[in-house]
Structure 1
């Protein structure tokens, strides 16, 4: 918990700094930036791309679409078991996990995510994510 909330910089600030440093050293075209954070929705994806990410790793949204209830009792060193059978070594629970049904949910999530990103790009007058930049973000200022 301490690592999640107290250590490091937020992803947006980090992306901006890394992108600027790579630009300053002429390395931006040679090094790709992968962003992984709490990405669930199309606007999350577009925002991280604007901040300089070249592509996004998404786990949470796909796990939730596959049935994860975020019980934090996944199979692991503690001998715990995922209550839905998604991330467990318990054969009994795994055998009850509905793979075909859940795979459709995952595919639907992916389709909706990509469609949402394309819709946002269209609204922004863009044809491709490579056209996104910090200039496309609106900065909110607190008064």
Structure 2
């Protein structure tokens, strides 16, 4: 805990000056700022704990995502094996296998409710909007070429 106390004492003086500039007297923090050092130590400990728990939860979420993906794949393969083993009619077997494949693809990779899962969706949406802008620009250019005149007015 000596390292945390050293970091707290490093920030204690600027914090004391900041509190003094705000008009808060330093009498409540003690003569040498021990109360402020204690508060800074607790704040630093809380920050480190937050970072460790956040990393652990992200790791757990990634692991759970992989396990759920494997479970989904296993159920799909078991369903396919069951259909192949039990269904004698060729047309019905094909239809059931296509239905299982469609269900597998529709389920997709289910996202977990963590901020990391939204990053991929945001990137995908940004790419789609970029492509939409490019298509609109190509339509405008093609329309100008059909008319034979070029309008250089970029509004």
Q: TM-score, normalised by structure 1?
A: 0.26
Q: Give the structure with the higher percent helix.
A: 2
TM-score by length of 2: 0.24
Query: Would you tell me which structure has more strand in proportion to its own residues?
Result: 1
